[in-house]
Amino acid sequence: MGAAKMKDKLIYALFWLSGLIIVAILLSIVGYVLIKGFSVISLDFLLQSPRKAGAEGGIFTTVIGTLYLTLLALLMAVPIGTGAAIYLQEYASDQSRFARMVNLTAETLAGIPSIIFGLFGFVFLVILLNLGWSILSGGITLAIMILPTITRTAQEAILTVPVEYRENSLALGASKWQTTQKVILPFALPGIITGVILSIGRAIGETAALILTAGSSLGMPLSVFDPTRTMSVHLYLLAMEGISLERAFGTAFLVIVLIVIINFLANLSMRRFSQAMH
Amino acid sequence: MERIYKIQSQNLDVFYRDFQALHAINMDIEQNKVTALIGPSGCGKSTFLRSLNRLNELIAGTSIKGQVYLDQQPIYTKELDVVALRKKVGMVFQKPSVFPMSIYDNIAYGPRIHGIRQKHQIDNIVERSLRAANLWEEVNNRLNSPASRLSGGQQQRLVIARVLAVDPEVILMDEPASALDPISTSRLEELIAKLKNKYTIVIVTHNMQQAARVSDYTGFFLNGELIEFNQTDELFVNPRDKRTEDYITGRFG
Ligand SMILES: Nc1ncnc2c1ncn2[C@@H]1O[C@H](COP(=O)(O)OP(=O)(O)OP(=O)(O)O)[C@@H](O)[C@H]1O
Ligand SMILES: [Mg+2]
């Protein structure tokens, strides 16, 4: 009896330790970034445009560029990805060749390194279609990159909708589309949003593919045809070109803050939503 | 008085891929009566019920031979509007499955889908349906709270109210009392007795006493065949087939 209990305790301690390691890693990274970047963080740093390649001024244009690009990518990828997921889960039969092809494609796309998308975007969008380094080129590239994640998570979310909901809705005389719209999507929404959050994280963190497609201009982007620089690209260049490590850390800190805010908002809306349902 | 048949199935075969679940079912279901379907597990009761509102076709690989008539019109035709059929032939499933929305929205779901937009009209339907399902008194002060917080018996009545809200002509019930306690069950049986004035009801039940209590007609299924179909009094007192007798007297596997 004593030995079994000891073993239980030991295992418990190991799991607890795993938890601790995760928290410790996160805290030390965020803490380190915060300490290193703290001296440059101020409202001015956030709200002023960069000067002298970012050595002076703030990072405002890169914040705008980041939001602009991410939003554009989501605007394209969320409807297409969710649409594909709905098609695969609700409309296509399991044997359908096309459905299997879509599935396989999404899976393969998910495994392709982002720089390949960047290269494609550079050659096809920037040069061939003559879109230049622009928010449009970058946004399309990002959209392609996050499409598999959004499709997959939406598929999984739709899969969790109990089949009884479908049957009950259809038995009440609802069409397939009404059922999808009024029962399936609302129920799957939290899962779909999870995929969107993951994608936002990926989009915000992307660098190389964006340098190839959106460029690295520090000017204020006004339209989707303007080039821009995202915060992650900015911090990469600040560090890489030895402009200012401090400012790179300051930018890194704000990237973390941005992601935390987005996570928080998404969680909040999700909780609201599921409280309204259950 | 002449009998009016609401639903008639004619030589109905149902297959799940190459497994034949129903064999040449012929049954005439009388209007404004309760018809009970009994038989051991797996004999095809649910399959039969689900073929009356074409719900079987949601399962990949099902196919059908024969025909089912609703008001003398065939339902297995290309031209038939399945949505209209299912609006007329409502279904209460074995497991009450309320949508993850408020009580009100659950009831309003059907009417809204069928194009009713005006709030006061929907309010009326919600109240009328909940009253008809004997649930109004218990929930009228919390219509906006989530339906999932209701008890099992209340959820079952909510599901019935949701079906009533689309104003069907036929109500199919698949073991509606299987998850209910004796009190809820007897309330449900009272409800069925009340509803048959307006609707034609087909109910699957494993409970012989229940079939005897609530139904006018009873059909006994075995291995995908309809062994005997008769007025309930007759079938329970004077079963013609030995297998029916064995089943209703409990001498069956
Ligand atoms: N989706 C399906 N795919 C394949 N076979 C099925 C399917 N649904 C039912 N069957 C088979 O068809 C036969 C009839 O099933 P059905 O559900 O109609 O029986 P039942 O009389 O309703 O049983 P119970 O009283 O247990 O609910 C069974 O042998 C069952 O295994
Ligand atoms: Mg059944």
Residue A44 lies in a domain: no
Residue A52 lies in a domain: no
Average pLDDT over residues A16-45: 90
Cα distance between residue A216 and residue A133, in whole Å: 8
Q: What is the ipTM of this complex?
A: 0.90
Least confident of A53-57, A129-133, B170-174: A53-57
Its domain, for residue A203, covers 64-230
Q: Alpha-carbon Rg of chain A, whole angstroms?
A: 22
pLDDT digits (tens, 9 = 90+) for A252-278: 999 998 988 888 888 887 777 766 665
Q: Which amino acid is at B6?
A: K
Cα distance between residue B241 and residue A133, in whole Å: 83
How close is the Cα of B156 to the center of ligand 1, in Å?
22
The predicted model scores a pTM of 0.83
- The protein residue whose alpha carbon is closest to atom 1 in ligand 1 is B59
Distant-in-sequence, close-in-space partners of A12: CB < 8 Å, separation ≥ 6:
none
The three-class DSSP label of residue A209 is: helix
Q: Is the CB of B58 under 6 A from ligand 1?
A: no
Q: Which ligand is nearest to the CA of B43?
A: 1
Residue A161 and residue A180 in contact, taking contact as beta carbons nearer than 8 Å: no
Q: Is the CB of B43 under 6 A from ligand 1?
A: yes
Cα distance between residue A151 and residue B20, in whole Å: 38
Residue A252 lies in a domain: no
Which chain A residue has its CA at the smallest distance from B168's CA?
A172
Chain A residues with CB-CB distance to B146 below 8 A:
276-278
Cα distance between residue B56 and residue B123, in whole Å: 33
Give strand ranges (E) for A100-184.
Answer: none
Cα distance between residue A166 and residue A156, in whole Å: 16
pLDDT digits (tens, 9 = 90+) for A218-253: 999 999 999 999 999 999 999 999 888 889 999 999
Please state which of the four CATH numbers 3.40.190.10, 3.40.50.970, 2.70.50.60, 3.40.50.300 is assigned to the domain occupying B5-248: 3.40.50.300
Q: Going residue by residue through chain B, which has 253 residues, state the pLDDT in tens, using 9 for 90 and above.
A: 678 999 999 999 999 999 999 999 999 999 999 999 999 999 999 999 999 999 998 888 899 999 999 999 999 999 999 999 999 999 999 888 999 999 999 999 999 999 999 999 999 999 999 998 889 999 999 999 999 999 888 999 999 999 999 999 999 999 988 777 788 788 889 889 988 899 999 999 988 889 999 999 999 999 999 999 999 999 999 999 999 999 988 876 4
Cα distance between residue A80 and residue A106, in whole Å: 12
Cα distance between residue B4 and residue B67, in whole Å: 18
Q: Which ligand is nearest to the CA of B48?
A: 1
pLDDT bucket at A1, cuts 50 / 70 / 90: low
Q: Classify the phi-psi angles of B66: left when phi > 0, otherwise alpha if psi is within -120 to 50, otherwise beta.
A: left
Q: Spell out the domain ranges in chain B.
A: 5-248
Exposed e or buried b per residue across A46-69, where buried means at least 16 C-beta atoms within 10 angstroms of its C-beta: eeeebeeebeebbbbbbbbbbebb
Q: Tell me how far the alpha carbon of residue B216 is from its chain's centroid.
A: 15
Question: What CATH number does the domain containing A133 carry?
Answer: 1.10.3720.10
What order do you get walking across the sheet with B5-16 strand by strand? B19-30, B5-16, B62-70, B73-74
Number of domains within chain A: 1
Average pLDDT over residues A13-38: 91
Kindly report the number of other CB atoms within 10 A of residue B161's CB atom. Answer: 25
